[in-house]
Structure 1
Amino acid sequence: MSLPDHYTILELLPTASQREIKQAYRRLVKQFHPDTNNQSNHSHEQMLRINFAYEVLGDPAQRQAYDQQRLVISSRAVGVAVNISTENYHQARQKDTDFALWLRNVYEPVSKIIRNIIRPLQEQIDQLAADPFDDVLLEEFQGYLGKSTTLLSAARSRLQACPNPARAGAIALNLYYCLNQIDDGLEDLYTFTLNFDDSYLHTGQELFRIATGLFREANAAVKTSTPL
């Protein structure tokens, strides 16, 4: 399991100050903004990565959580991990139980919600594309956005109400980032229904694509965290 290297994206060292992070973000925005970059597709992709990286590193609380997760993954990579065989048998069993309960009570319902938001998007867009100015089609699309917003709120509440065990840290972190991207995507998609500016539609779709990737990372983390 690997996390996006936000420090590399912003061309910074992990020891960078919040001021240096902000300065790097402003510099890269000027460099890769599609309006000033000839390679529009590449610059658009890069801008999304830059914005995502700054969203995490620019917020001290999110940065701290991200740094802690990087440390956990780095420790595993060099083989620094708790040897279960040296732990008390009952403690190890309790950790297994806590992890299984978290998967059942948090990961599974949140995953179901994410799928119920992401999967219908393309079909909803295809239906609206028949006539974006049709009141009925527009109302149906806005209904999908409204329902998705309600589902998103439920997913966030469940994720926040049940603290994850350490073993589920990578899973929870990717779900958290995934929900953030969905939230931003829904906002852009709703803005599109107000002004019919295609840029909001495309950005919303791209944010959902990023959310899908983060969701896959969460699923992959489940497989690597679950004993065979």
Structure 2
Amino acid sequence: MSKAIVTGGASGIGAAVVSLLRERGHDVVVLDRDPSDGIQVDVTDAAGVQAAVDEAASRLGGLDLVVNNAGVGAAGTVADNDDEEWHRVFDINVVGMVRVSRAALPYLRGSGDAAIVNTCSVAATAGLPQRALYSATKGAVYSLTLAMAADHVGEGIRVNAVAPGTADTPWIGRLLDAAEDPEAERAALEARQPMGRLVSAAEVAEAIVYLASATATTGTVLGVDGGMQGLRLRAPRGR
């Protein structure tokens, strides 16, 4: 069984990944700003990330799997967020993954079955309204995943990503709470996914754990989006 770290592992998709990995017998250390059972770390702090990864590897006796899940959301058009916010969100969503992966690489090189799985988003490849900043960061994660896969395949380190659609996570819950009509907003989010519902954190976790063990798979971004990216359904008659 693998020795794994999961960033952003205290809630949402990350917590679902931690639960599923442990259920299947893997040893996991949570890295989060507010962990319930792990190591506290802010992915924007390079020294803190290095120390946290070193501590996790020491606890586990090595590292086989890194799940780069820590991230934040952002709403609005390009006009709605200032430079400071753009830098902040990129620092967390993109450079945070770089810091964790960089710190973990020496340990992964010593594993016989090493993998990195990044949390991307359908927003990387589908134009969504009011998501300019968030989409830009996830587009960067998409490209970063492919480049890392190319860089490290020769070292036996597989790098993949999942691209969820709108997932039923605490961040989406906060967006709905802030909406003028939360029920109508939820219905609209569900309607834009062909399966007619939000993706669950557990469903995304299943895909992440699959990629962690899919030994012939690297450089893949796996959609978990209810058909949102690939399907174009006909509207009902009369519309």
In the superposition, the TM-score normalised over structure 1's length comes to 0.27
Q: Relative to total residues, which structure has the larger helix share, 1 or 2? A: 1
Larger RCO (CA under 8 A, 6+ residues apart): 2
Query: Which protein has the larger Cα radius of gyration, Structure 1 or Structure 2?
Result: 1
